[in-house]
């Protein structure tokens, strides 16, 4: 599982609990689950976008402020899994 800090939020990949979002002050903001069988394994934020790895469910690309909006998805189909993702300075 990973944690990334971006703007005024802390994003936590929380496995079967999905994506947890906290304020910089440590206060809980919200939780997003992407499906009953989806395991959120990593999250990274850069240039206003979140990249969320969800194992066999693939990579979700989203924006957040103050609501999460999924704007794209890379589906791994039956052949793969995404367990880590990192983005920095647009790469």
Tokens matching residue 8:
């005024």
Its pTM stands at 0.89
Q: How confident is the prediction along the chain (91 residues), in pLDDT tens digits per residue?
A: 899 999 899 999 999 999 999 998 889 999 999 988 899 999 999 999 999 999 989 999 999 987 899 999 998 777 788 888 888 887 7
Query: Rounded to whole angstroms, how far apart are CA atoms 56 and 16?
Result: 13
Distances (CA, A) of 80 to 29, 44, 76: 32, 20, 5
């Amino acid at each position: 599982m990973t944690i990334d800090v971006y703007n005024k939020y802390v994003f936590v990949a929380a496995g079967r609990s999905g994506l947890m979002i906290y304020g910089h002050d440590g206060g809980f903001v919200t939780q997003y689950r992407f499906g009953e069988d989806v395991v959120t394994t990593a999250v990274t934020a850069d240039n206003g976008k979140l990249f969320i790895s969800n194992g066999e469910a693939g990579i979700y690309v989203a924006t957040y402020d103050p609501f999460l909006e999924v704007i794209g998805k890379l589906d791994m189909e039956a052949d793969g899994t995404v367990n880590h993702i990192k983005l920095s300075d647009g790469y």
